[in-house]
Each structure stands twice: as C-alpha cells, then as structure tokens.
Amino acid sequence: MSAMTDTLYSPAHEPEPASAAAKTTPSQPRAILDPGLDLTLRPMRYPAFYDRYRDAIRNTWTVEEVDFSDDLVDLQRHLLPAERHLVRRLVAFFATGDSIVANNLVLNLYRHINAPEARLFLSRQLFEEALHVQFYLTLLDTYVPDHDERAEAFDAIEHVPSIRAKAEFCFKWMDAVSTLERLESDGDRRRFLMNLICFAGCIEGLFFFAAFAYVYFLRSKGLLNGLASGTNWVFRDESGHMDFAFAVIDVVRAEQPELFDDQLALDVQAMMEDAVEAETAFAADLLSDGVPGLSLADTRSYLEYVADQRLARLGLPKRFGSANPFTFMELQDVQELSNFFERTVSAYQVGVSGDVSFDVEF
C-alpha cells in the first residue's frame, strides 16, 4: 500500500507512525482496524463480508410497494386513543432514528473499518438506511396529514424527553470517536469498539427491535398491516446490519484479543444497562395512556431479554435473566418468512436465495 493511501486520514498528511499497530509487512497482514485506507480487493482478506454485501443486494425493496390504505382506516376507526398515542410516539422516533444511524455509519464506521470488502457492505447499508428514512418519511406524511403535527413529530428529538434521552445515549457513544482521525493506539480502538458495540447491541439490536415489537403487537390485533409489511423489510435489513457489526467485532477479537479485557466487559454491561433504562423510559411514554394487552412490566422484561441476547452474542454473561413475554415476537421470523415467500414477486425486485434460519433470537 502506498504512502499516499496510508495517509488519507492523517490530519497533517504526515508519514504513518512507525508503531507496531500501524506498520505492516508481508509476514504481518494488515488488521481490520489498522489506520489507513486499504483499497485492494484481491486477494480478499475477509470474503465473508463480500458475501454479506451480495446477499444484501439480493434483498432489494422499494417504499412504493408498501400499501398504507388499510392503515388509514385503522387510524380513523379502529385504534383506541392510547394506541394512537403509541403510534404517534413510535413514528416520531422513527423519523430521526435511522438518520442517527446513517450519520454514525458515514462519520465513524466507514472511516475506521479498514477492509474494502467490508466497506462495500457499509455502502449498501447506507443505501438501506436512506431507504428506511424514506419509508418513515412516507409513513409520517401518510399517518399525520396535519402540517404542524408532522413538523412536531420530526422535531421530537428536541421536545419529547423520552426520545431526546435515547438520542443523547446514541450521541454519547458517537461523539466518543468523532474526533479520532486514525486509530493509532489500543485506547483509540477500545473507544471505536464501544461505538460499534453500541451500534450493534443497543441501537440496532435493542432500540429498533423494541420498536418492531410495538408494530408486531398491533399487527397481532389485526391493526396497521401496511406498517407491519414495511417493517418486515426494514427488519430484514436491520438484522443484516446488526449481524455484520457483530461479525466485525468477531474479527477484531480474533486479531486483537487483548482489547477484550475485564474493563471492556464491565463498560459494555454498563452501556447495555443504560440502554435498557432509556428504552424503558420510552416505553413508559408510549404506554402512558394504558394500551390493553401491553404492559410496561412485560415490555421491560422483553427489553431485558433482548439485552441478554446481545450480551451473549458478545460472549459476555447475561445480565438480567428475563424471559420473553411477547409470544408474537417468538413467531415473527416464521411469519415474516411465510409472508416473504407469498409475496416475492411484488415485494422484492430480486428473490433471496440461500439457507434460512428459523431459530433467530429476538
């Protein structure tokens, strides 16, 4: 790799430091968090990431395929006032959630994950995040016809405390690496790891999975099927994003196991506890008017269950020990798959091939 390529992210464009972390030789392959910008796709160092990129390309859908016509009838005639409040809060979170993810993707993850095949997946992910933003924009325009109410929903991060708290949680971990031009030290890489773990385990893996649960709860009552059908496709995308991020963490663990010490484990556990508290506060807001069939206690148990699944994926002990009280989520992978095969022609531009798992952990 040329000196010019290796200094693309150096503030002063100075030669790369002669440190063990930054130097590579034929006998010492470049690691995925080494500073610089590797542009060489062959020989491919991480072919599994290229395979993930190709799988994501096959899973292509458009917002125009989502039919909200029945949802409008539900909103006007069938939803209880408490359910309408839940939906209003939920779409307000959706309005900004994927934009936060996309910003972190561009400003932090793409910059420091130094493998061109991994950056191919991240490029595809950015497209999918933009698609999700379009979906939620269309959702808000459809569900909230009043201009002032719609503007308030888009500005919820400023005036809805429960949404602001979740955004502040996200920004805390994004800002921790926003000033890092290069990952020169183990300390830098730990900070980046915490960002990536927060992204995979807390934002994609908890905040969005909680939001999906509210959607599928309403669907279990026969409500807002248009929202649920669009969420099925977002759910597939987000699951792929989360799995990719965890796979990158696995690579870092294999290349630099010393980063995964007791202190990192304690920090991750504390971060996950904070995420559960922030999401529980949001749930208390959503359910504040009393939604029949959906209690705050059960929602808290579901959040703890999901958080434990994310900790286990990281090889860490489970923190909460809660069971999943939402049986409608246990069946979600099967329901979505059945729906997918029934609607492949209309719902996807390219059919998905390969093995499909029925044992996804929620």
The residue that leads in pLDDT, 158 or 242, is: 242
**Model confidence pLDDT, tens digit, residues 267-285:** 999 999 999 999 999 999 9
Is residue 26's pLDDT more than 60?
no
Mean local confidence (pLDDT), 23-46: 80
Residue type (1 letter), 207: F
| Cβ atoms < 10 Å from Cβ of 359 | 5
pLDDT, one tens digit per residue, over 140-154 is: 999 988 888 888 888
- Which active-site residues does the annotation give? 136
User: Does the structure show a pLDDT above 70 at 176?
Assistant: yes
- Domains, the chain, in order of start with CATH, read 71-346 (1.10.620.20)
Spatial contact of 154 and 93, defined as CB atoms under 8 Å apart: no
